[in-house]
Amino acid sequence: MAKYMILIYGDAEQWDSMTGEQWEAHNAGHAAFAAKAGTRVLDGRQLEPVPTATSLRADARGQVHTTDGPFLETKEGLGGYYLVEAADLDEVLELARLLPELNHTHSGLEIRPVVEHG
């Protein structure tokens, strides 16, 4: 079994404007995903809003600089993730299609295999 990271991106302003009813439906979508995935979900968390991020970057001299916020200025920020175990990418894609972020035009998912060392 391989491990895959499902990264959840979205526009924080759009999430902030959702009604209580919309959040209930959204959370129900995540519950349906978790129920279907079962023990294949190894971890998953919602992240604090993008403005709370702290970024580190080294310059050409090797000096490390710390800045508030993400590396890139973009409307869509990383909002959460799931770490899942699956036989192959097709299995992960089937599960990921259950996530409610795919019901909104301001959000999306990125799936990446996890490198296993040793």
Share of the chain above pLDDT 70, in %: 94
pLDDT band at 100 (very low <50, low <70, confident <90, very high): very high
Predicted local distance difference test score (pLDDT) of residue 89: 94
Residue 108: inside a domain: yes
CATH code, domain with 29: 3.30.70.1060
Residue 104: inside a domain: yes
Interatomic CA distance for residues 15 and 22, integer angstroms: 10
Share of the chain above pLDDT 90, in %: 60
The domain of 15 spans 2-49+74-113
Q: How many domains is the chain built from?
A: 1
Reported as a single tens digit per residue, the pLDDT across 39-90 is: 999 999 999 888 888 888 888 999 998 887 665 656 678 889 999 999 999 9
Residue 14: inside a domain: yes
Residue 55: inside a domain: no
Residue 58 tokens, joined: 């080294």
Residue 20: inside a domain: yes
Residue 17: inside a domain: yes
Selection from 108, 110, 81, 93 nearest residue 14 by Cα: 108
Cα separation values, 20 from 17, 29, 59, 63, 89, Å: 10, 14, 44, 45, 34
Reported as a single tens digit per residue, the pLDDT across 15-40 is: 889 999 999 999 999 999 999 999 99
Residue 68: inside a domain: no
